[in-house]
């Protein structure tokens, strides 16, 4: 589709000696309303033309012929500012939204390409902690953003389901006198508790650690009974995970965990040995990366067992073979950046040119208060963290109280409270750049004032409410959806108010924002954009009465387009676009 930038570039190209592509790249948005709709900075031309930028801008302004869309060209401070006819801008922006509907902002940049996303990936037998929310929701949002750009998306939950920990679980399970017949009544809470019990018991009886290692060895060697217990523990974990993911509306295409790659270990080790990468060191087998200024990678322990990174190497190869990905992104906290540097280097040294497609998408740590009052990385292992389900429940409780107070008539308060609570938590995770560290405090996590999930949801609710009232007033069933009927009969010149214009401008940015978020592999720009639309919508609704006004038809059309764009934005970041609150 031809954009205003394209049109401006065509007007400028003959006079600047630049290609239309270069000009489109250079065009920016003026910082101040009133300066125009688009700006072309003349500074880079100064050297070539040997003239001062303001003089170039003034000269170009005289050479550009305006037309029905581009109605004014004005030089200012070395910029050439372009003014678009407001009615034309509205027709084009709202027309695109009405036409594309839920697909607004879709592109074909990823057509025929596949992206594999690895995110959430908790450990089996443990409950999800609050800090798991961040990676889970960043990955969820990136999946939706890539899908909108035309990519085929494969969402993988790389469950941590292998390692000595599961030896501990089995040891404790049997030590507590539990048997297979007790598995049906087993819950994630009880599994989680077994870890804690183990840690405490091991302090008094160090031999337990050996027992755990031995149990894990039996597990690895395929002991039928132990494998049965392991599988049961995994099933219990998956049931609980899916219960929480359902609250968050998060889904995965694959729950293949680490254990799956056990069978791949011999051939992976052979492959690396074949490349002459494997070296014996202190009884273990390693890849020496000293030449690359990285610490060595341990592939196999003294006892012969493989490690996390060995299985990750196998998993990367498996993913390339299975999905033929063009990108493979690991949404994992920044604490593991060294691990991913090592993984990437080993893949490179093993001769896989596609190692460049493998990328760590790190996010900042969620820090919790330590006993001495400082801040430290939250650890599920030591049990020092708040459970995600408890935080969600806390948010839901709090919101429920607010709904009872503000909207006692609302139907389905319980469900709404959940959607608002989840929206608030998710929004606060995504509204900041992903690499920032976050300090978890109950009060702050449950504080939803200002630029928050409820603020953006409330804007969506108000838009929906007007469309609902419009239908009621006319005696039509259901909420009105005027955008579905197309632009016929809409007089776009009837939206001249600054609030309407500001909202339309905000709506026009949607496709660019999706691109920005994708380039950064960060949902943050999309969350910030939700605030922009919400602010525009709140302001328009506050200042321009819709129902009963002389411009009712046009204003309803704008309201519906704003509803579509905001609803899509919320969906892309994983905040429920609710219609009532």
Kindly identify the residues of this chain, within the stretch 258-317, that bind RNA according to CB under 7 A: 258, 281-284, 286, 293, 295-296, 298, 301-303, 305, 307-308
Q: Collapsing DSSP states into helix, strand and coil, what is residue 296? A: coil
Q: Which of residues 221-260 bind RNA (CB under 7 A)?
A: 258
Question: Measured from the CB atom, is 138 or 298 closer to RNA?
Answer: 298
Q: How far is the CB of 253 from RNA (least distance, A)?
A: 20
Quick check: 293 and 365 in contact, CB under 8 A? no
Q: Which of 113, 155, 129 is nearest to 255 (CA)?
A: 155
Q: How far is the CB of 79 from RNA (least distance, A)?
A: 3
Q: How far is the CB of 327 from RNA (least distance, A)?
A: 19
Work out whether 380 is an interface residue with RNA (CB under 7 A). no
DSSP 95-160: HHHHHHGGGTT---TTTT-EEEEE----BTTSPPBTTHHHHHHHHHHHHHHHHHTT-EEEEE---B
Work out whether 482 is an interface residue with RNA (CB under 7 A). no
Of the candidate residues 19, 196, 231, 436, the single one contacting RNA (CB under 7 A): 436
Q: How far is the CB of 218 from RNA (least distance, A)?
A: 15
Quick check: 376 and 370 in contact, CB under 8 A? yes
Work out whether 442 is an interface residue with RNA (CB under 7 A). no
Quick check: 462 and 559 in contact, CB under 8 A? no
Q: Which of residues 56-95 bind RNA (CB under 7 A)?
A: 76-79, 81
Question: Measured from the CB atom, is 96 or 299 closer to RNA?
Answer: 299
For residue 387, list its beta bridge partners.
129
Work out whether 167 is an interface residue with RNA (CB under 7 A). no
Q: How far is the CB of 101 from RNA (least distance, A)?
A: 22
Work out whether 100 is an interface residue with RNA (CB under 7 A). no
Please choose, out of 243-251, 374-382, 389-397, 504-512, the segment that lies near RNA by the rule CB under 7 A: 374-382
Q: Which of residues 190-209 bind RNA (CB under 7 A)?
A: none
Of the candidate residues 234, 320, 462, 505, the single one contacting RNA (CB under 7 A): 462
Q: How far is the CB of 215 from RNA (least distance, A)?
A: 13
Of the candidate residues 325, 330, 352, 448, the single one contacting RNA (CB under 7 A): 448
Q: How far is the CB of 449 from RNA (least distance, A)?
A: 4
Work out whether 543 is an interface residue with RNA (CB under 7 A). yes
Of the candidate residues 105, 160, 523, 574, the single one contacting RNA (CB under 7 A): 160
Q: How far is the CB of 30 from RNA (least distance, A)?
A: 3
Question: Measured from the CB atom, is 249 or 535 closer to RNA?
Answer: 535
Provide φ and ψ at 284, rounded to 5°: -105, 175
Please choose, out of 93-101, 130-138, 234-242, 402-410, the segment that lies near RNA by the rule CB under 7 A: 402-410
Of the candidate residues 195, 230, 455, 492, the single one contacting RNA (CB under 7 A): 455
Q: Which of 481, 457, 469 is nearest to 564 (CA)?
A: 481
Quick check: 257 and 311 in contact, CB under 8 A? no
> Could you give the string, one character per residue 122-141, with x where binding to RNA holds by CB under 7 A and - elsewhere?
-x------------------
Quick check: 514 and 107 in contact, CB under 8 A? yes
Q: How far is the CB of 16 from RNA (least distance, A)?
A: 13
Quick check: 9 and 20 in contact, CB under 8 A? yes
CA distance 447 to 439: 14
Of the candidate residues 355, 431, 505, 563, the single one contacting RNA (CB under 7 A): 431
Please choose, out of 222-230, 388-396, 450-458, 483-491, the segment that lies near RNA by the rule CB under 7 A: 450-458
Of the candidate residues 189, 235, 376, 397, the single one contacting RNA (CB under 7 A): 376
Q: How far is the CB of 190 from RNA (least distance, A)?
A: 21
Question: Measured from the CB atom, is 153 or 573 closer to RNA?
Answer: 573
Of the candidate residues 364, 383, 394, 515, the single one contacting RNA (CB under 7 A): 364
What distance lies between CA 32 and its chain's CA centroid? 30
459 Rama sector, left if φ>0, alpha if ψ -120 to 50, beta otherwise: alpha
Residue 78: DSSP 8-state:
T
> Could you give the string, one character per residue 27-46, with x where binding to RNA holds by CB under 7 A and - elsewhere?
-x-xxx--xx--x-x-xx-x
Is the Cα dihedral 156, 157, 161, 163 positive or negative?
positive
Provide φ and ψ at 280, rounded to 5°: -85, 135
CA distance 534 to 155: 30
CA distance 464 to 548: 17
CA distance 559 to 577: 15
Work out whether 113 is an interface residue with RNA (CB under 7 A). no
Work out whether 525 is an interface residue with RNA (CB under 7 A). yes
Work out whether 497 is an interface residue with RNA (CB under 7 A). no
CA distance 509 to 523: 15
For residue 79, list its beta bridge partners.
41, 76
Is the Cα dihedral 215, 219, 225, 228 positive or negative?
positive
Work out whether 217 is an interface residue with RNA (CB under 7 A). no
Say which residues have a Cβ less than 8 Å from residue 133's Cβ, sequence separation at least 6: 248, 388, 391, 425, 426, 429
Question: Measured from the CB atom, is 324 or 496 closer to RNA?
Answer: 496
Residue 384: DSSP 8-state:
B
Say which residues have a Cβ less than 8 Å from residue 347's Cβ, sequence separation at least 6: 313, 316, 354, 355, 358
Q: How far is the CB of 77 from RNA (least distance, A)?
A: 4
Work out whether 17 is an interface residue with RNA (CB under 7 A). no
Work out whether 171 is an interface residue with RNA (CB under 7 A). no
């Amino acid at each position: 589709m031809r954009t205003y930038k394209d049109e401006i570039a065509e007007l400028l190209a003959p006079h600047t000696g630049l290609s239309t592509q270069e000009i489109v790249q250079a065009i920016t948005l003026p910082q101040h309303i009133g300066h125009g709709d688009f700006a072309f900075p003349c500074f880079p031309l100064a050297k070539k033309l040997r003239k001062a930028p303001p003089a170039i801008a003034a000269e170009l302004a005289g050479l550009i012929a305006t037309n029905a869309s581009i109605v004014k060209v004005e030089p200012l401070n070395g910029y050439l500012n372009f003014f678009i006819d407001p009615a034309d801008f509205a027709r084009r922006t709202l027309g695109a939204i009405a036409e594309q509907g839920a697909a607004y902002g879709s592109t074909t940049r990823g057509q025929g390409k596949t992206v594999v996303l690895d995110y959430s990936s908790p450990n089996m037998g443990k409950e999800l902690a609050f800090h798991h929310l961040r990676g889970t929701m960043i990955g969820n949002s990136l999946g939706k953003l890539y899908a909108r750009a035309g990519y085929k998306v494969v969402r993988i939950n790389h469950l941590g389901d292998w390692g000595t920990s599961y030896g501990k679980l089995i040891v404790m399970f049997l030590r507590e006198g539990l048997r297979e017949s007790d598995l049906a009544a087993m819950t994630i809470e009880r599994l989680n508790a077994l870890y804690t019990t183990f840690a405490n018991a091991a302090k008094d009886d160090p031999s337990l650690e050996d027992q755990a290692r031995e149990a894990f060895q039996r597990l690895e060697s395929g002991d039928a009974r132990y494998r049965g217990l392991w599988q049961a523990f995994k099933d219990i974990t998956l049931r609980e995970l899916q219960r929480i993911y359902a609250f968050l509306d998060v889904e995965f295409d694959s729950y293949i965990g680490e254990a799956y790659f056990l069978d791949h270990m011999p051939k992976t080790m052979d492959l690396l040995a074949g490349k002459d990468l494997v070296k014996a060191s202190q009884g273990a087998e390693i890849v020496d990366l000293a030449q690359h200024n990285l610490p060595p990678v341990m592939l196999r322990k003294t006892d012969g067992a493989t490690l996390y990174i060995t299985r990750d190497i196998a998993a990367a190869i498996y993913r390339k073979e299975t999905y033929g990905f063009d990108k493979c992104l690991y949404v994992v906290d920044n604490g593991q950046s060294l691990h991913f540097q090592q993984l990437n280097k080993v893949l490179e040294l093993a001769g896989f040119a596609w190692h460049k497609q493998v990328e760590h998408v790190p996010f900042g740590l969620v820090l919790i208060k330590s006993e001495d009052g400082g801040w430290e990385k939250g650890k599920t292992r030591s049990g020092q963290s708040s459970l995600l389900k408890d935080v969600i429940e806390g948010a839901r409780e709090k919101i429920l109280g607010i709904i009872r107070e503000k909207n006692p008539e609302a139907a389905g308060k319980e469900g709404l409270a959940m959607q608002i609570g989840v929206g608030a938590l998710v929004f606060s995770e995504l509204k900041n750049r992903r690499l920032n560290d976050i300090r978890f405090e109950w009060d702050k996590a449950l504080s939803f004032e200002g630029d928050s999930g409820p603020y953006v949801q409330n804007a969506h609710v108000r838009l929906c409410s007007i469309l609902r009232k419009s239908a009621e007033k006319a005696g039509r069933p259901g909420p009105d959806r005027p955008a579905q009927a197309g632009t016929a009969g809409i007089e776009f010149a009837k939206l001249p108010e600054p609030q309407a214009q500001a909202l339309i401008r905000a709506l026009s940015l949607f496709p660019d924002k999706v691109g920005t978020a994708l380039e950064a592999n960060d949902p943050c720009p999309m969350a910030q954009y939700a605030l922009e639309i919400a602010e525009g919508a709140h302001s328009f609704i506050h200042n321009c009465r819709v129902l009963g006004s002389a411009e009712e038809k046009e204003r309803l059309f704008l309201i519906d387009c704003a509803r579509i764009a905001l609803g899509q934005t919320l969906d892309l970041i994983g905040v429920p676009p609710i219609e009532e609150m």
